């Protein structure tokens, strides 16, 4: 079950603090906004660092971070300064003109990755759409494939547009949206034989596998890291068969794993990769990056009105420069190790409840036993009452994705809340 489909408890007990606003009118909101999300009954109005406050003044430790998005936490001084100055200067112009902030951000990305070309858009889904279009054009123009197929993984998540939900290997996201886009084939994640079989089986007439599109770590699929040997062998298979390797780094990119990009954990380089969520620390932006050899787009092939505007690019560049200046990647590595150690200790204490703890850096999952009634949503609600925000990654996996600036004390506070909630729920 995804976050969007959760059915929440109508009340979350918590202490109110002084200076609170009037209670928020949830009913008024629900009469105006489409019900595409199952929302928890709190209305957040401000944040600072790794903490947020709701409209009634209650404080929460935020281990959701906009779902792996608020890289520098809330109201980081460097980001506040940048967006304040940029909105006074120039916030949007058309891509019909050169945009200096866009050029600077593209150069920063190229200097800190294997990319040689960058296209900017507004979201992860758009970045993945761009990658799909680029792979298809490359297949037609360079590989001379009439019917290119893109292989993706089961339990993957690539976005909510029609093409990206087709690429997503989870039927629950595709239900009622048929007919889906043609040209996709699904295989189990981390299963090399399945990939080899798909390449052989789909090589027929004018049809052939043109690209393999995977997450370096599956986020919505349960926080499942890619296996080193699998991805290294996959890189060789792609090279040997003229197949593009596309990595979806929408959730793991921009430092979340303790490295700038998820692929750095796998010892390989993709031909195309995508980023969005954490790229500008919560300001909407997406990017599709590629090696020069597969950049076959020409003027008019692809575009985005808002993509790469001065405001979003200035914010993203500040995020990148702050990661460097404040040595935040080291904090991600240290706090990630601390978090996994603490969660593993909880798992050892409750082996009848917890089956596994896994992850990279500050994207981690705690999986519950499949044969128990307790769900990740149950724990999310229980810890919320204790002042901690978490997000599920399926019905049995708790996802921990705090801001990358999280402190050791805040990691301790979060894990203590989780252990206390589990103790109460299982007593």
For the residues 145-163, what does the mean pLDDT come to? 97
The candidate with the shortest Cα–Cα distance to 275, out of 326, 330, 320, 229, is 320
Phi, psi of 398 (to 5 degrees): -90, 135
Rounded average pLDDT over 297-322 = 97
Average pLDDT, the chain: 94
124 pLDDT above the threshold of 80: yes
- pLDDT bin (cut points 50, 70, 90) of residue 23 is confident
pLDDT for 91 equals 98
By percentage, how much of the chain surpasses pLDDT 70? 95
Mean pLDDT for 104-124 is 98
Is residue 306's pLDDT more than 80?
yes
The answer, yes or no, to whether residue 9 has pLDDT greater than 90, is no
Name the band, by pLDDT with cuts 50, 70 and 90, for residue 285.
Answer: very high
Among 24-38, 250-264, 372-386, where is mean pLDDT lowest? Answer: 24-38
CATH topology of domain 77-325: 3.40.640
CATH placement of domain 3-75+328-426:
3.90.1150.10
Query: pTM of the predicted model, to two decimals?
Result: 0.94
Domains 3-75+328-426 and 77-325 share a fold: no
Domain boundaries, the chain: 3-75+328-426, 77-325
Q: Which residues are catalytically annotated?
A: 157, 248, 277
Q: Grade residue 94 by pLDDT with cuts at 50, 70 and 90.
A: very high
Q: In b/e form, how buried is each residue of 388-406, taking b as 16+ CB within 10 angstroms?
A: bbbbbbbbbbbbbbbbbbb
CB neighbours of 154 closer than 8 A, spacing ≥ 6?
Answer: 169, 170, 186, 187, 188, 189
DSSP assignment, residue 347? H
pLDDT confidence tier of residue 346, bands split at 50, 70 and 90: very high
Question: Mean of the pLDDT values across residues 227-236?
Answer: 98
């Amino acid at each position: 079950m995804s976050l969007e489909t959760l059915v929440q408890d109508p009340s979350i007990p918590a202490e109110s603090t002084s200076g609170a606003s009037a209670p928020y009118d949830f009913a008024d909101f629900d009469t105006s906004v489409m019900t595409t999300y199952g929302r928890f009954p709190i209305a957040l109005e401000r944040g600072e660092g790794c903490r947020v406050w709701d409209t009634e003044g209650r404080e929460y430790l935020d281990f959701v971070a906009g779902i792996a998005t608020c890289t520098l936490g809330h109201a980081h001084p460097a980001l506040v300064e940048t967006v304040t100055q940029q909105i006074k200067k120039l916030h949007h112009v058309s891509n019909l003109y050169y945009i200096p902030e866009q050029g600077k951000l593209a150069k920063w990305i190229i200097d800190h990755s294997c990319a040689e070309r960058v296209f900017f858009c507004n979201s992860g889904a758009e970045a993945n759409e761009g990658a799909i279009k680029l792979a298809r054009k490359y297949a037609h123009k360079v590989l001379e494939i009439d019917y290119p197929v893109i292989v993706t993984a089961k339990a993957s998540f690539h976005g909510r547009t029609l093409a990206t939900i087709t690429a997503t290997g989870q039927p629950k996201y595709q239900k009622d949206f048929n007919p889906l886009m043609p040209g996709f084939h699904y295989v189990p994640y981390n299963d090399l034989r399945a990939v080899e079989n798909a390449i052989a089986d789909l090589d027929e007439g004018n049809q052939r596998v043109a690209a393999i599109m995977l997450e370096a770590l599956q986020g919505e699929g349960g926080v499942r890291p890619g296996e080193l040997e699998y991805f290294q062998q996959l890189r060789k298979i792609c090279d040997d068969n003229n197949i593009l390797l596309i990595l979806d780094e929408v959730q793991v990119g921009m430092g979340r794993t303790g490295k700038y990009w998820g692929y750095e954990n796998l010892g390989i380089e993709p031909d195309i990769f995508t980023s969005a969520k954490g790229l500008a620390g919560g300001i909407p932006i997406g990017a599709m990056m590629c090696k020069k050899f597969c950049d076959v787009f020409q003027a008019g092939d692809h575009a985005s009105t808002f993509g790469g505007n001065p405001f979003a690019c200035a914010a993203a560049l500040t995020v990148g420069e702050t990661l460097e200046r404040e040595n935040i990647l080291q904090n991600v590595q240290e706090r990630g190790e601390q978090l996994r150690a603490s969660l593993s200790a909880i798992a050892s204490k409750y082996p009848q409840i917890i089956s596994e703890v896994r992850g990279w850096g500050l994207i981690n999952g705690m999986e519950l036993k499949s044969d128990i009634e307790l769900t990740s949503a149950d724990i999310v609600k229980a810890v919320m009452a204790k002042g901690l925000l978490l997000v599920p990654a399926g019905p049995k996996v708790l996802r921990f994705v705090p801001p990358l600036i999280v402190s050791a004390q805040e990691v301790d506070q979060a894990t203590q809340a989780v252990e206390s909630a589990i103790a109460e729920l299982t007593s």
